[in-house]
C-alpha cells in the first residue's frame, strides 16, 4: 500500500457525525465486516449456485474491504508494513517446518526491515 492510496482513503471518508477517531473506527469496523460478507457472497454464488466465479465482482468487493482496512489502520496509527511483517513472524514461529531455511531467512529479513 502506498501513501497515495492512504491519502485517497483519507479524502473519501464520509462520516455521519463529527470527524472523530471514534466515528472513523466505528465506520471502519462495520465496513470491514460487511464487505467481507459481500466478497463471500460472490464466492458463495460460484460454489453453491453453479455460477462462474465473477472475478471482477470479487476484485471490487476486495477493494471495498481493503479501503475499510486502510481506514482502520489509519485511524489507529498502524502501518500495513508492520501488519505484514508481524504476520510473517507469527506464521514462521507457528509453522517453522513449512519454510525451508533459506526462505525463512529471506522472509524474516523482509519482516525485520519493517520493524518486526
Shortest CB 59 distance to Mg ion, Å: 11
Sole window of 54-62, 67-75, 92-100, 105-113 interacting with Mg ion (rule: CB under 5 A): 54-62
Of positions 64, 79, 80, 86, contacts Mg ion by CB under 5 A: 64
User: What DSSP letter does each residue of 75-108 carry, written as one string?
Assistant: HHT--HHHHHHHHHHHHHHH-GGGS-HHHHHHHH
Using CB under 5 A, which residues numbered 68 to 107 contact Mg ion? none
Work out the number of other CB atoms within 10 angstroms of the CB of residue 9.
20
Choose among 33, 30, 35: nearest CA to 61. Answer: 35
> Is residue 54 within the footprint of Mg ion (CB under 5 A)?
no
Please state the closest distance from residue 21 (CB atom) to Mg ion, in A: 24
Smallest distance, Mg ion to C-beta of residue 64, A: 4
CA distance 35 to 42: 11
Cβ atoms of 40 and 64 closer than 8 Å: no
* Residue 38 in contact with Mg ion, rule: CB under 5 A: yes
Nearest approach in angstroms of CB 62 to Mg ion is 9
Positions touching Mg ion (CB under 5 A) are: 38, 61, 64
Amino acid at each position: 500500500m502506498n501513501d497515495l492510496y492512504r491519502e485517497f482513503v483519507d479524502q473519501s471518508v464520509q462520516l455521519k457525525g463529527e470527524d472523530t477517531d471514534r466515528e472513523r473506527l466505528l465506520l471502519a469496523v462495520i465496513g470491514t465486516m460487511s464487505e467481507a460478507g459481500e466478497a463471500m457472497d460472490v464466492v458463495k454464488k460460484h460454489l453453491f449456485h453453479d455460477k462462474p466465479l465473477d472475478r471482477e465482482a470479487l476484485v471490487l468487493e476486495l477493494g471495498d474491504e481493503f479501503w475499510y482496512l486502510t481506514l482502520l489502520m489509519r485511524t489507529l496509527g498502524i502501518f500495513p508494513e508492520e501488519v505484514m511483517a508481524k504476520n510473517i513472524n507469527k506464521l514462521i514461529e507457528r509453522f517453522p517446518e513449512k519454510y525451508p531455511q533459506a526462505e525463512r531467512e529471506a522472509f524474516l529479513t523482509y519482516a525485520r526491515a519493517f520493524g518486526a
